[in-house]
Structure 1
Amino acid sequence: AVDVVPFIPIRNATMEECVQLAKEFGETLANKCNVPVYLYGEAATSPERKDLDWIREGEYERLAEMIVKPERKPDFGPAAPHPTAGATITGARKVMAGFNVNIGTSDLSVAKKIAKALHAKKGGFSTVKAMAAYIPEKNITQIGMSISDFEKTPLYRVFEMIKIECERYNVPIVGAEFCGMAPLKAIIDVAAYYLKIDNLSEDRVLEMAVYKAMEKGGAFE
C-alpha cells in the first residue's frame, strides 16, 4: 500500500513538469493495480483537493463510505477501496520544511496553546500545521511543525512567534531541530535574518558554487 506520492521540483525541474508526472503516475497506478487515486496540491482537480487533509477525511476506516460520494470520486481508478491497498494520493507541491521546537516545560497544555497559535486552521500561519507532544525522556514538550511553503512563511517568522508565545506563558525555548532534510534556502533565509546579511543567496555559499561549477564542466565564473 502507498499513502502519498508527492512530486517535488528540487532542482532543474518545474512545478508544471511535476504536475504532469503526478498525473501520469496516478493514471498508470490506477490502470495497472486497480487502486483509486486522488490528485492533490498543485495537481488537484478542484480547490478543496489541494488540501491533503480534505482528501484524508474519515481516514481508512471510512474510506468505503466517503469514496462513493460524487464530490469525492477518485481522479483515477474505481470508486471503491482496493481490498489491501486502500487508496493512493499523488500530486505536486513545493518542498516542505519539518521544524520542531523544544519548550522547557512538562506542561502539555501550554505547548498545545502555543501550537494552536501557529496552526493554519486555528488562526495561525496559513502554511503551518503544528501539534504539541510531551517528550518523557527529557521531561519537556515539543512543538512539531510542517511548513508547506517556507518562502511564504519563513522559519524565522515562525520561530519569532514561538518566542512571543513562550514569553507569554513564561517558558523557555530549549532547543530546535529539523525533521528530515532541510531545504537550503530555508536555512539561508534564517541566516540572512538573524545575521542581517544583505543579499544572501545560495550563490554566496561555497559548496553551491563548487556544485554549479561541476554541473557546467568544472568552470568557475
Structure 2
Amino acid sequence: MRVLTVPNWSFGRGPSLLGSFQEELSTADVRVHYTVSDVDHNRTVTAFSGDVAAVESTLLRLCDLAFGWIDMRDHVGVHPRVGALDVCPFVPLEPGDHAVRESLALAERVAARIGGGYGVPVFLYEKSERGRHEADLPALRRGGFEALRDRELRPDFGPSHAHPKLGVTVLGVRDFLIAFNVDLATDNLAVAKEIAKEIRNYRADGDPRFLGVRALGFPLASRGLTQVSMNLTLPDLTPIDPIVDWVETRAAEEGVLVAGTELVGVIRESDLRNATELQVRPEQVLK
C-alpha cells in the first residue's frame, strides 16, 4: 500500500543538515518529491512516498538526523511552529478503507516511536484525532514553541511537557491538499496580510472561489518580498488559477506586482489543468 508523507521540519538555515537529508533520501526506497529549505520561514519541507514500511523507516531516519541538530530554543522564523518535526501528515495514495486503516496504523506507530523514543509529546490530528484536540490544537499552535515550555500538556503519546529542545509534534492522517505561495514584489507586509485576511473572510462567508483556502501573510526579508501563503484543502472543488489571478488583481490595486509563485510539496496529475500559474517540477506530480 502506497502512502505519502509531507514532514515539515523547523530548520531552514542549516545547509549541512539539508545535505544530510538529501543524502539519506537519495538512498531510501521511496520516491522523493520535494526537499526544500526556506531561510525566512526557517523551515524545511520534505515530501516522499512509497510503501508503508519504506516511508516509516525513512521518516524515522530523518528524525534521527534532525533531532540531534535542531534546538527550538534558538529557532527564529516567520512561520508558526511548535516543534522540530513540526507537523507530519500521512496521505494514503490508494482508495478504500483498507488504505486509510493502514495509514492510521502507520501514524500511530510513528507517534509512539517519537513520543517514547525521543521524549517528544505527539498530538494526533485530522483523521487520526481521537476527539481530544479539536479545540486544543489551534491554541497550541497560536502560542508557538515559547508558550509550551511551562504548560501541562495532554498529548496522545509522550510526556506531558514539551521537550526542552524539540518541542512537540503534530501528526496524523489527512486528505490530500495543495500548498502554494504567491510572492509579492514589496516589503510592505500589510499588503500580504490584508490579502490573506480577505481570503479568509471570503472563505468564512462561503464564497465558492475560496472554499477550503487557508491563507497567511509573511515577510520574506532576505529577498525584500512578502508572501501570501495558502493551503488548498478542497482541491477537487476549488481550482488554483483563479485564486492566483485574484491575488494578482488585488495586489495590483495596491500598486504591487506578483514576483512569482511556488508549489510547496506535491500536486496530483489531475490538478495540473487548473494550476497553470504554478511552476511544477516533474517529481512534484503524483501519478
RMSD of equivalent CA atoms: 3.7
Could you list the runs of 5+ residues in structure 2 that have no partner in the other structure?
1-66, 68-84, 277-284
Q: How does 1:57-206 map to 2 (within 5 A)?
A: 57-68=142-153, 73-119=154-200, 123=204, 125=210, 126-134=212-220, 137=223, 140-190=225-275
| Larger strand share, 1 or 2 | 2
Deviation at 1:173, TM superposition (A): 3.5
Q: Deviations over 1:61-94 (max 9, x none)?
A: 22243334xxxx1112221233443322210123
What count of residue pairs does the alignment treat as equivalent?
A: 190
**Once structures 1 and 2 are overlaid, which stretch shifts more, 10-19 or 148-157?**
10-19
TM-score, scaled to structure 1? 0.65
SS at the partner of 2:227?
strand
Query: Identity, % of aligned pairs?
Result: 28
CA contact (8 A) 1:9 1:18 kept: yes
Alpha carbons of 1:50 and 1:39: their partners in 2 closer, same or farther (altered >3 Å)?
farther
Deviation at 1:140, TM superposition (A): 4.9
1:40 aligns with 2:121: no
Q: Deviations over 1:143-198 (max 9, x none)?
A: 2323334234321242243244235435444532223443333323336xxxxxxx
SS at the partner of 1:79?
coil
Could you list the runs of 5+ residues in structure 1 that have no partner in the other structure?
192-207, 213-221
Structure ID, larger Rg: 1
TM-score, scaled to structure 2? 0.53
| Whole-Å separation in 1 of the counterparts to 2:156 and 2:200 | 29
Deviation at 1:26, TM superposition (A): 1.5
Deviation at 1:50, TM superposition (A): 8.2
Q: Which amino acid aligns with 2:178?
A: A
SS at the partner of 1:143?
strand
| Whole-Å separation in 2 of the counterparts to 1:62 and 1:135 | 25
1:55 maps to which residue?
140
CA contact (8 A) 1:130 1:146 kept: no
| Whole-Å separation in 1 of the counterparts to 2:239 and 2:91 | 19
